[in-house]
Structure 1
Amino acid sequence: MSQPIIKLSNGKQVHAFGFGTWKADKGLVGEAVKTAIKTGYRHIDCAACYQNEKEVGQAFKESFDSNVVKREDLFITSKLYNTCHEPHNVRKHCEITLNDLGLQYLDLYLIHWPIAFEYTGETIKDPEFNENGLVKTVPVSIRETWTEMEKLVDAGLVKSIGISNFNVQSINDLLSYARIKPVVNQVELHPYLSQPHLKIYCDKVGIHLTAYSPLGSGAFVEDATVGEIAKKYNKSIPNILCRWAIQKGFSVIPKSSTPSRVIDNFNIFDFEISEADMQALDNLNKNYRTCDPIHFWGIPIFD
Structure 2
Amino acid sequence: MSLGKTAKLNTGAEIPLRGYGTWQAKPGEVGEGVFQALKAGYRHLDLARIYQNQREVGQGIRRAFQELGIKREDIFITSKLWNSEHRPDLVPRALDNTLNELGLEYLDLYLVHWPVAFKSNGDIFNLFPRSPENNNQVDIDDDVSLVDTWKAMIQLPKEKVRAIGVSNFTEEHLEAIIKATGVVPAVNQIERHPYLPNPPLINYAKEKGIHITAYSAFGNNLVGAPLIITRPEIKEAAEKASKRTGKTVTPAQVVLAWSEIGGHSVIPKSVNTPRIQENFVDVELAPDEIALVDSLAKEEKRYNIPAGYKPTSWPINIFNTPVEQDPKFHKVNLGI
- The two structures have a TM-score, normalised by structure 1, of 0.94
Change beyond 3 A, Cα 1:56–1:23:
same
- Distance in 1 between residues matched to 2:150 and 2:164, nearest whole Å: 9
Picking from 226, 230, 233, the partner of 1:225 is 233
Picking from 254, 260, 270, the partner of 1:256 is 270
**Is residue 140 of structure 2 the alignment partner of residue 137 of structure 1?**
yes
CA RMSD of the aligned region, Å?
A: 1.6
Residue in structure 2 matched with residue 187 of structure 1 by the alignment = 190
Picking from 257, 260, 274, the partner of 1:246 is 260
- Distance in 2 between residues matched to 1:263 and 1:88, nearest whole Å: 41
Q: 1:179: how far off?
A: 4.5
The answer to whether the 8 A contact 1:114-1:166 is kept is yes
Residue in structure 2 matched with residue 91 of structure 1 by the alignment = 92
Residue in structure 1 matched with residue 152 of structure 2 by the alignment = 148
- Distance in 2 between residues matched to 1:155 and 1:40, nearest whole Å: 27
1:257 match: secondary structure: coil
**Is residue 169 of structure 2 the alignment partner of residue 166 of structure 1?**
yes
2:80 match: secondary structure: strand
The answer to whether the 8 A contact 2:177-2:183 is kept is no
- Distance in 2 between residues matched to 1:222 and 1:157, nearest whole Å: 41
Q: Which is higher, the Rg of structure 1 or of structure 2?
A: 2
Indicate the larger mover: 135-144 or 77-86: 135-144
Q: 1:231: how far off?
A: 1.9
Residue in structure 2 matched with residue 112 of structure 1 by the alignment = 113
* Amino acid of the structure 1 residue aligned with 2:317: P
- Distance in 1 between residues matched to 2:95 and 2:128, nearest whole Å: 18
Residue in structure 1 matched with residue 330 of structure 2 by the alignment = none
**Is residue 9 of structure 2 the alignment partner of residue 8 of structure 1?**
yes
The answer to whether the 8 A contact 2:229-2:255 is kept is no
Gaps of at least 5 residues in structure 2 are 221-225, 242-247, 321-336
- Distance in 1 between residues matched to 2:126 and 2:262, nearest whole Å: 34
Picking from 166, 175, 178, the partner of 1:175 is 178
* Amino acid of the structure 2 residue aligned with 1:81: W
State the Cα deviation string for residues 252-300 of structure 1 (Å, max 9, x = none): 0000111111111111x2x311112212212211331111112122433
The answer to whether the 8 A contact 2:240-2:289 is kept is no
Gaps of at least 5 residues in structure 1 are none
The answer to whether the 8 A contact 2:131-2:139 is kept is yes
Indicate the larger mover: 3-12 or 202-211: 3-12
The answer to whether the 8 A contact 1:191-1:284 is kept is yes
Percent identity of equivalent pairs: 40
- Distance in 1 between residues matched to 2:41 and 2:231, nearest whole Å: 29
2:59 match: secondary structure: helix
- Distance in 2 between residues matched to 1:164 and 1:42, nearest whole Å: 20
State the Cα deviation string for residues 131-164 of structure 1 (Å, max 9, x = none): 2554211110111111111111x44210000000
Change beyond 3 A, Cα 1:65–1:194:
same
- Distance in 1 between residues matched to 2:301 and 2:152, nearest whole Å: 34
* Amino acid of the structure 2 residue aligned with 1:229: A
Indicate the larger mover: 122-131 or 228-237: 122-131
2:207 match: secondary structure: helix
* 1:52-67 matched pairs, under 5 angstroms: 52-67=53-68
The answer to whether the 8 A contact 2:218-2:229 is kept is no
**Is residue 306 of structure 2 the alignment partner of residue 290 of structure 1?**
no
Residue in structure 1 matched with residue 71 of structure 2 by the alignment = 70
Residue in structure 2 matched with residue 278 of structure 1 by the alignment = 290
- The two structures have a TM-score, normalised by structure 2, of 0.85
Residue in structure 1 matched with residue 205 of structure 2 by the alignment = 202
- Distance in 1 between residues matched to 2:100 and 2:177, nearest whole Å: 29
1:35 match: secondary structure: helix
Residue in structure 2 matched with residue 300 of structure 1 by the alignment = 317
Indicate the larger mover: 139-148 or 93-102: 139-148
Indicate the larger mover: 159-168 or 125-134: 125-134
- Distance in 2 between residues matched to 1:68 and 1:236, nearest whole Å: 31
Which 4+ runs in 1 deviate beyond 6 A? none
Residue in structure 2 matched with residue 29 of structure 1 by the alignment = 30
The answer to whether the 8 A contact 1:51-1:124 is kept is no
The answer to whether the 8 A contact 1:49-1:124 is kept is no
